[in-house]
Structure 1
Amino acid sequence: MKLAFLFPGQGSQKPNMLHHLHDHPVISEVMHQAGDILGESVYKLDSMAALESTTSVQVSLFVSSVAVLKAFASEGVLPDIAAGHSVGAFSAAVACKAIDFTDAVRMVKRRGQLMEQAFPSGYGMGVITGIDVRTMKGIVETYFIEKDPVYVANINAPDQVTISGSIAGIDRVINHARDRGARKADVLNISVPSHCPLLRPVSVSLYEELSKIHFRSPIIPYACNRTARLLKSPEKIREDLAFNLSHPVKWHDISSVLCEHGTRLFIEMPPGNVLASLAKKALPGGRAVSVEENGFRNCLLLAKRFSSDHS
């Protein structure tokens, strides 16, 4: 029986999320370390105004989740598998020790900058719940227009997909999805068209920069965003960190693969509880909690009890 740590991606951010983390010396240490690396206090990055920037969002998400990861490690709790959604994949790579924290925080900042430079305005993402993936792909293909492109992006559940592209294209698809009976169809708080072909040039640039960084073989498996396979190759992890930007995230398949490999406890790092909620729906036989919803100490005790029961 295995424990998986889940690391959220863009869309889970909340104002002051770094200020609301559990009071733990390791978390404070990571915050200061990140500030030293970036040359600015990370506590300036999570205000409502600052989170208008994709770069600030991604750095805040990364630092938040890694700080809590390291707090768990200091208390003797380590995951057996790590899975991160989109930018959360960088946190998963740190958890696997495939990449150093110093290199990762710099690359996350660069990732955000490249995305903002490529699409400063007029683009984003949406989410549709209550329509199966095949039907959603048909809707997107039917209403695709070259001048206002939109694509199916992440497949989070059999009846939950995200779409990515121009705001005009997203609005068009959302309206038709509502007409087709979608339970929910909304524009997400994301200002770039992630996980679609529009970001291919950004993926190429990011890969070039990641190629200058040393990657090691992971000490635990890393769940690949693009293929939903568990990776143990440092080069494959490098490729996924770069090219998951321009490919859909197969999150539902990742959840299923983790279960097939014996995962029975999922703990989502902050902020948010989206991945834990998806895990509960996908894997009724397992248990999924989030640090934000359940609290650091409760999750720590649960993880220790789980490890003791299954050692």
Structure 2
Amino acid sequence: MGKVAFLFAGQGAQYVGMGMDLAKNFERAKKIFEKADEALGYRISDICFYGPEEKLKETANTQPAILTHSVACYFLLKEEGIVPDVVAGLSLGEYSALVAAESLDFEDAVRVVRKRGIYMQEAVPLGEGAMAAIIGLARQEVLKACELASDEGVVEAANFNSPDQIVVSGHVKAVEKTLKIAKEKGAKKAVMLPVSAPFHCSLLKPAGEKLEKELEKTNIKPAKIPVISNVTAEAVKDPAAIKELLIKQVSSPVLWEDSILKMKELGVDTFVELGPGRALSGMVKKIDRSLTTLNVEDSESLANVISYFRGNR
């Protein structure tokens, strides 16, 4: 067996009821949710477990909710002696990865991502920004489509998720024109995404500036295991570099495909996704079908992963 990477879920994976089963069955998970409630000064656990969905979908709640669920999954694996050689997270998930690498304390991370959510939402007025997924079109063709649509406003590649899926972000009209051009260029699918802001494009730079002030007050320590940065798809451990990349990450494209390939290059052949959903596992398989993917989000999937590692080590 090669090396193991833990991947942490990003925004969009949330669902009402997430983490409830773990908190009911495992004292360690329950304590993580209690710590999050205490750090935030309100019961994010209730929003995770009971909703309502509209409240969970608010960016300022979604981000700490997913982080809390993801970190609870991590500590349950750690208790079983299952630890990663390298970590990465999709956008918001990078904060969960930094908690796993002991670069950020959990309570600090949960407070920072709530503020991050607020800043990201405030950066562009509701209704002015959009994001869309383009499937089945080469990277260069998507970038060309963005360039051709830029007369309608800002539109940029935001997520390079897999060889056949790229997300674009920017002003609504520019994003809509990009989709039209992408379809003309032969994209299999080009659809608007149900998000509240145009994440990971230059319109979010004001959010990065506010986040910088928040990170100034946060204790970032050297990462004990390599964290693959969304911005560079390279391993990072140094606190100053981590901080700089977290600020850039808000308005820069997420190099997810490149990050998975980097981990493969480092000898990783098993990827364990932590937190709600299985979107990251699907992306890994699209990048390289030979890679092993597992996930932990509830008691059943946790038991399956523990069983897998006991049988393979």
The TM-score normalised by the length of structure 2 is 0.92
- The alignment partner of 2:95 has SS state of helix
For residues 73 and 163 of structure 1, the distance between their equivalents in structure 2, rounded to whole angstroms, comes to: 36
Partner of 1:214: 219
Partner of 1:43: 45
1:31 to 2:13 alignment: no
Change (3 A) 1:111 1:28: same
Check conservation: 1:89, 1:225, Cα contact below 8 A. Answer: yes
1:233 to 2:238 alignment: yes
Partner of 2:19: 18
For residues 18 and 133 of structure 2, the distance between their equivalents in structure 1, rounded to whole angstroms, comes to: 23
Check conservation: 2:16, 2:47, Cα contact below 8 A. Answer: no
Name the amino acid aligned to 1:226: V
Partner of 2:303: 297
Partner of 1:56: 61
Partner of 2:274: 269
Check conservation: 1:255, 1:283, Cα contact below 8 A. Answer: no
Name the amino acid aligned to 1:268: E
Partner of 2:162: 157
- The alignment partner of 1:191 has SS state of coil
Percent of aligned positions with the same letter in both sequences? 34
The count of corresponding residues between Structure 1 and Structure 2 is 306
Name the amino acid aligned to 1:273: R
Range moving further from structure 2, 180-189 or 128-137: 180-189
- The alignment partner of 2:158 has SS state of strand
For residues 213 and 12 of structure 1, the distance between their equivalents in structure 2, rounded to whole angstroms, comes to: 26
Partner of 2:249: 244
- Per the TM alignment, residue 21 of structure 1 is displaced from its structure 2 partner at its CA by 4.5
Check conservation: 1:54, 1:112, Cα contact below 8 A. Answer: yes
1:171 to 2:176 alignment: yes
- The alignment partner of 2:308 has SS state of helix
- The alignment partner of 2:250 has SS state of helix
- Per the TM alignment, residue 239 of structure 1 is displaced from its structure 2 partner at its CA by 1.6
- Per the TM alignment, residue 188 of structure 1 is displaced from its structure 2 partner at its CA by 1.8
Range moving further from structure 2, 254-263 or 291-300: 291-300
Partner of 2:86: 81
- Per the TM alignment, residue 292 of structure 1 is displaced from its structure 2 partner at its CA by 4.2
* Structure 2: 5+ residue stretches without partners: none
Partner of 1:96: 101
Check conservation: 1:44, 1:50, Cα contact below 8 A. Answer: no
- Per the TM alignment, residue 214 of structure 1 is displaced from its structure 2 partner at its CA by 1.4
* Structure 1: 5+ residue stretches without partners: none
- The alignment partner of 2:20 has SS state of coil
Change (3 A) 1:113 1:297: same
Name the amino acid aligned to 2:40: L
For residues 215 and 292 of structure 1, the distance between their equivalents in structure 2, rounded to whole angstroms, comes to: 27
Change (3 A) 1:167 1:19: farther
- Per the TM alignment, residue 5 of structure 1 is displaced from its structure 2 partner at its CA by 0.4
- The alignment partner of 2:167 has SS state of strand
Q: How big is the alpha-carbon RMSD for the aligned residues of Structure 1 and Structure 2?
A: 1.7
For residues 125 and 114 of structure 2, the distance between their equivalents in structure 1, rounded to whole angstroms, comes to: 16
- Per the TM alignment, residue 305 of structure 1 is displaced from its structure 2 partner at its CA by 3.4
Name the amino acid aligned to 1:128: I
